[in-house]
Structure 1
Amino acid sequence: MNTPMEPAGRPNAVRAGVPGQRRKRRTYLVLLLFWLLLVGGGAFVAKLYTDHLRRQIAADIAAQTDARLIQVQQQYESQIAGLRESLGGDIAKLQEKIDSVNELLAFTKDSASSKTDNSNQLYTQLSELQKKLEALQKQLDALQ
């Protein structure tokens, strides 16, 4: 019997096709893994960059906040110093008025006698002075 050793049909074509498909699958698998690596690496780098930007923005905001707080503190201290000076001047003026009132009270107390009470003595002295001035004015008019 003459039987051929190779099967009928196109034996070379079938055997030649199998290694080509394996290479295509490997190529697709390698490309898929490479693509996944690129996407994953890109996502990782994007995450690192956003974290870096967040830290940088937070540092900038902290620096701006510190500068503003220092400025507000300086304004506050200058206002406090101005108020202290103003209040010191007002207190000095008020002390002068209090001293003058105390002198007036001391004068009225010293000039008080047993004949008049302390609250009415100054008014009566002024009234007497007014009467004497009117009398002098009448005498001056009579002389002319």
Structure 2
Amino acid sequence: MHYSTEPMSDSVPSRKKRRPSPKMILLIWILLIALGVTAAYLYSNHLKDSMIAQMNLEIQTRTEAMKTDYTTQLAALSAEIQELNSKVEAFNELLTFTKDNSSNKTDNSNKLYSQLNEVKEQLAALQKKMDLLK
């Protein structure tokens, strides 16, 4: 047998050539997976919060638009009702005057009554529209 006096470098691996242990690799993978899951969870919460804020803003904008539209329609209907009320009053006055001055001719008063009924029907229809808007 031949014995050498040089140190045996092949039988004991040096620190530079040593590979990491499987436990260390497993631990690093678990940490990376945990970090990925945590990052995904935080990002999804961030997206959810931003979407909720955006939806709230959109809903608020639409609500304000609906409010202004409703008030505009309500004001227009109120103006129409006031106009029709004044027409009804004018027709009532004319009808009273015609009735007082009428002779055997009832044809004119019948026309006034029919016009008055038409105006009342329009007033009732506008009142229904106004009630629907309320």
> Runs of 4 or more off by more than 3 Å in structure 1?
none
- Say how many residue pairs are matched: 103
Residues 1:66 and 2:39 aligned together:
no
CA distance in 1, matches of 2:26, 2:108: 108
Structure with greater proportional helix content: 1
For the Cα contact (< 8 Å) 1:108–1:118, is it kept in 2? Answer: no
Match of 2:92 in 1: 102
Match of 1:54 in 2: 44
The structure-2 alpha-carbon separation of the partners of 1:79 and 1:120, relative to structure 1 and needing over 3 Å to count, comes to closer
TM-score normalised to structure 1 length? 0.60
CA distance in 1, matches of 2:55, 2:107: 64
RMSD of Structure 2 on Structure 1 (CA): 2.7
Structure having the higher Rg:
1
Residues 1:117 and 2:111 aligned together:
no
TM-score normalised to structure 2 length? 0.64
- The percent identity for this pair of structures is 18
| Structure 1: gaps spanning 5 or more residues | 1-8, 11-15, 122-144
The structure-2 alpha-carbon separation of the partners of 1:120 and 1:50, relative to structure 1 and needing over 3 Å to count, comes to closer
Residues 1:34 and 2:24 aligned together:
yes
Residue 31 of structure 1 and its aligned partner are, at CA, apart by 2.1
Match of 2:75 in 1: 85
